[in-house]
Chain A
């Protein structure tokens, strides 16, 4: 995603050491989740990107405006580091999503338990018939 940034963003990063602790909830998704590359191949879908990718783009953009809950540079740097460590081997855009969720938890924008509860609710909704 094309990032845009402000000079002041550079000093906002909470974690620039590259030492990220794994988050159990996201680790479980990393291990268990089926990535678009596999799903699209299985179902014969030609779209190279999952339908939710564009929504993820929207979330990343929206987080960087107005209240600026998560500056672009901080998000991108965390994504770089997480992509080469905890989420190494996860394809794009799944790793972008994991990195975003990880950064938001680490930044205190929401808690792991809170996200777990929301995932459960959303899962029930999306899987209801």
Chain B
């Protein structure tokens, strides 16, 4: 390996061509602004918000709750107030007026006999201010339909095999309420700091399709299954 001289910086690789999709995105956006469907300023606000969010605040909330019984009680009773302690103003997450109905956030506590998992059967509602962008599979009709009907089967496809005595509760996100899961603290994490604990509370743990493990800090790659029956929104 060639030795780097002091101060030498190698730029990260970049895609060196403009794709048709990149052009299409900009063309759609420009036309929308030109026609007054929204302003360039609106778009900038939303894009900055989208840039700023991720699952870390939710992971911190869980880690903090694992370490502090008082905070845990607050989180379970009032997710909106608890989220402020990890830097998220749930009622005004964008800071410039929210497009949506972020009226409530509920934290669902797993126990040895109850496992929670979150879905939005209607579209893809997700606690974005505190959990970031939803993964692709969360948006698919396949997940949204099947998790409410056959939760045990779907969780097993995520590699999560639960004993028969564990009840699975599927919470369906809606116009008024978003959910996140507080999984149980795994064994082997005694004496861990909040930061260390937050690192193992992955996005998938917070949705409820995985359990935190001391040796895992990343979400597993998931294949996206296509629904067998094409979706028909005829209601």
Number of A-B contacts (CB under 8 A): 203
Can you list 25 A-B contacts with CB-CB less than 8 angstroms, sorted by A residue number?
Answer: A1-B126, A3-B124, A4-B175, A16-B232, A17-B232, A18-B230, A18-B233, A45-B13, A55-B26, A55-B47, A57-B47, A57-B133, A58-B46, A59-B32, A62-B38, A65-B38, A69-B32, A69-B37, A92-B224, A110-B32, A115-B27, A118-B27, A119-B23, A121-B27, A126-B18
Q: Which residues of A contact B19 (CB under 8 A)?
A: 33-36, 39, 50
B232–A4 CB distance below 8 A? no
Query: CA separation between A61 and B46, bound complex, in Å?
Result: 7
Q: Which residues of A contact B49 (CB under 8 A)?
A: 61
Closest to A118 in B: B27
- Tell me what chain B mostly uses at the interface: helix, strand, loop, or mixed: loop
Q: A69-B37, A77-B233 are in contact. List 14 more A-B contacts (CB 8 A).
A: A1-B134, A2-B127, A2-B178, A4-B99, A5-B123, A6-B101, A50-B21, A57-B133, A58-B47, A62-B43, A63-B32, A77-B123, A109-B31, A122-B27
- Tell me what chain A mostly uses at the interface: helix, strand, loop, or mixed: helix
Q: A2-B124, A127-B18 are in contact. Are A43 and B46 (CB under 8 A)?
A: no
Task: Identify which of residues 35-71 in chain A touch chain B, using a CB-to-CB cut-off of 8 Å.
Answer: 35-36, 39-40, 42-46, 50-52, 54-59, 61-67, 69-70
| Residue A22, interface by CB 8 Å | no
Size category, B interface: 35 or more
A50–B22 CB distance below 8 A? yes
B21–A29 CB distance below 8 A? yes
Q: Which residues of A contact B128 (CB under 8 A)?
A: 1-2
Measured CB to CB, the closest approach of chain A to B228, in angstroms, equals 10
Query: CA separation between A101 and B30, bound complex, in Å?
Result: 12
Closest to B38 in A: A62
- Number of interface residues, chain A, beta carbon within 8 A: 70
Q: Out of A4, A13, A94, name the residue touching B21 (CB < 8 Å).
A: A94
A81–B14 CB distance below 8 A? no
